[in-house]
Amino acid sequence: MNIELSKLIEALRRTLEDNVQPELRTDHARGQLAAVQDILGKLGRMAVWSSDASAQQARVLAEGCADFVARLAQAGVKLPLPASRQDGSPEDALLAAEAQAMQLTDWLFDDGATLPQSVHAELDAILRQALRQQLIIQRKLIPLTDFGAMTSVAKP
Amino acid sequence: MTDLSIPPLALDLAPERLGPRLEAFLQTQWHARVRLSDWCRFPAGFSWVTLGCTVALQQAGVERTLDLILRIGDPNGLLAPYRAKPEFLVLAALQKVPGLPVPSVHAYSDDADIIGAPFLITGRVAGDTPMPWKGNAEQRDEAHNESLSREFTDAMAALHRVNWRATPLGELWAESRPETVARDQVRHWASHVGILGAAHPQVPPQMYHAMRWLDREAPAADQVTIVHGDFRVGNFLQQDGHITAILDWELVHAGDPLEDIAWAGLRVFAAGTQRIGGLIDREAFNRRYAEVAGVRLRPDVIRYYEVLGLFKSAAMLVGATQRVASGRARDVRMASMGFQLASTLLELNRLITEASE
């Protein structure tokens, strides 16, 4: 999820205020909603995404990029890879690793197009594997969404 | 210096304000007295706002009523900015195509000065919407599922057989070429999330990798047809086992007909089954579609368009997240969509890997 948590929570509060509050019919329901909005407002200042997950994602991407460059070196091509950041926050490290993966993607599809087919395929597989591992870490954090409940009309 | 420019009209969905604006527009269009009433809003769909209303028309001393659907392209909507003209022209061109039921179409405007957003007015069609969720097909009579499967296939085939160049769409899509239609779609969705030619793309790297892969692998089409763009179980109405209307034409464009086939068959719409949309047997679909449409089914191209379909899904999810982050989202379901991105990109990764082996 590449959105600041505080912005996500603000969007939730805005929806409750604009789309739900005007439709409420009882004082009790309005009171409940006000409490939910209050809690969301407080959480918005306190909660952050999991730094552990960011650090794990940064690591698998950085390792994949390093494997990519090492395999390329075996094929006789020296590709200077911008150093990944180890000093900043896990979020900074993740952004840097993502940028690095996209740079290598560009290199593979542009300059790398002249490589022997087998080497090109191997490099692409290394990259895809790193991207896959990043996504698996993200998905582990997220329960399934019930879009059916969001689009169905209420039963009479 | 004094700013004399007129601020754009804000979209307001309250019937007491939306109604009079629309009545004034329709009176000019139809040269009749118009009164709108019985407003309701439908929760289905994540993009255009869909409202229902009844219009009382008084023309030459005769009064009649019609049930209408008003689709509004909210400037803050999922796929904004919107244009109603393509959908209007397509629906107008398809009014009498055998085997392809579509809603009647009454009016449209892309002028934001009318109600504050583009809009399209169609007739309301009776029926309910089978959804591609688990267990949905099992709740219906088997004979109904069979007739729905057959009519779904025939409707797609009928759409792809339309000679659109002989309609006003020929002018709208004059630039479409078999060699470029696939890449046009890649660029459209890459632009939607701001990564086309971006120096520092702000998307997950899997998304960026997919864009480069799709651009490199883009196939030439055997033919350029009308492509619905969202032709699937969940986007048609049915009554007693018969399709009463194919809906949601907002993504319509000129393209490769295999794009519609790949999209309809995506695993994400299969409700955990091997069937298209959890409803239609794939082999039966392929046989009947090829026979009726006269289109060559090319498995490698269909696989390409499956990847493009997931790229498109991911672009919508990223776009939704971007709107939430910028404070432009009016619908909180957009925030919920953002949480689907990882699983969509994982499936994209799987399909590219399969296609690369």
Geometric angle at alpha carbon B66, from B64 and B72, rounded to 5°:
140
Strand partners, B21: none
Instruction: Report the phi/psi class of residue A91: left, alpha or beta, with left for phi > 0 and alpha for psi in -120 to 50.
Output: alpha
Regarding predicted confidence, which is higher, B102 or A156? Answer: B102
Strand partners, B243: B238
Give the domains, in start order, of chain B with CATH numbers.
Answer: 15-123 (3.30.200.20), 137-356 (3.90.1200.10)
Whether residue B175 contacts residue A94, with contact meaning beta carbons closer than 8 Å, is answered with: no
Residue A51 in tokens: 């730094």
Regarding predicted confidence, which is higher, A85 or A116? Answer: A116
Does residue A150 carry a pLDDT above 70? no
Contacts of B342 in chain A (CB under 8 A): 135, 138-139, 142
Contact yes or no for B206 and A134 at CB 8 A: yes
Q: What is the pLDDT of residues B89-116, one digit of tens each?
A: 999 999 999 999 999 999 999 999 999 9
Does residue A85 carry a pLDDT above 80? no
Three-class SS string for B16-59? HHHHHHHHHHHHHHHCCEEEEEEEEEECCCCCCEEEEEEEEEEE
Residue A156 pLDDT class (50, 70, 90 cuts):
very low
What part of B 233-292 touches A (C-beta under 8 Å)?
A: none
What dihedral do alpha carbons A10, A16, A18, A23 form, nearest 10°?
180
C-alpha distance from B129 to closest chain A C-alpha (Å): 10
Q: Nearest CA to B320 among B209, B193, B206, B191?
A: B193
| DSSP-assigned states of every residue in B205-243 | HHHHHHHHHHHHHPPPPS--EEE-SS-STTSEEEETTEE
Other beta carbons less than 10 A from residue B58's beta carbon? 12
Check CB contact of A26 with chain B, cutoff 8 Å. Answer: no
In three-state secondary structure terms, B208 is helix
Looking at chain A, which residue has its C-alpha nearest residue B339? Answer: A1
Instruction: Report the phi/psi class of residue B197: left, alpha or beta, with left for phi > 0 and alpha for psi in -120 to 50.
Output: left
10 Å CB burial of residue B306 (0-12, 13-18, 19+) is buried
Global ipTM:
0.84
Other beta carbons less than 10 A from residue B137's beta carbon? 23
In three-state secondary structure terms, B236 is strand
10 Å CB burial of residue B354 (0-12, 13-18, 19+) is exposed
- What is the mean predicted confidence (pLDDT) over A78-86? 69
Contacts of B329 in chain A (CB under 8 A): 11
Q: A15-19, A150-154, B270-274: which has the minimum mean pLDDT?
A: A150-154
The pTM score is 0.89
Whether the bond into B168 is cis, omega within 30 of 0: no
In three-state secondary structure terms, B254 is strand
Supply the Cα-derived Rg of chain A in whole angstroms: 23
Check CB contact of A136 with chain B, cutoff 8 Å. Answer: yes
Q: Nearest CA to B349 among A105, A51, A155?
A: A105
Regarding predicted confidence, which is higher, A88 or B186? Answer: B186
* pLDDT string in tens for chain B (357-residue length): 444 555 567 888 889 999 999 999 999 999 999 999 999 988 766 788 999 999 999 888 889 999 999 999 988 888 888 999 999 999 999 999 999 999 999 999 999 999 999 999 999 999 988 887 767 767 778 888 899 999 999 999 999 999 999 999 999 999 999 999 999 999 999 999 989 888 888 899 999 999 999 999 999 999 999 999 999 999 999 999 999 999 999 999 999 999 999 999 999 888 888 999 988 999 999 999 999 999 999 999 999 999 999 999 999 999 888 887 777 766 777 777 778 899 999 999 999 999 988
Contact yes or no for B205 and A101 at CB 8 A: yes
Does residue A13 carry a pLDDT above 80? yes
In percent, the amount of chain A with pLDDT more than 70 equals: 85
At B80, the amino acid letter reads A
Check CB contact of A15 with chain B, cutoff 8 Å. Answer: yes
Contact yes or no for B335 and A10 at CB 8 A: no
Q: What is the pLDDT of residues B144-154, one digit of tens each?
A: 889 999 999 99
Residue B51 in tokens: 């409202």
Candidates B204, B334, B340; nearest CB to A2: B204
**What is the spatial distance between Cα B149 and Cα B151, in angstroms, rounded to a whole number?**
6
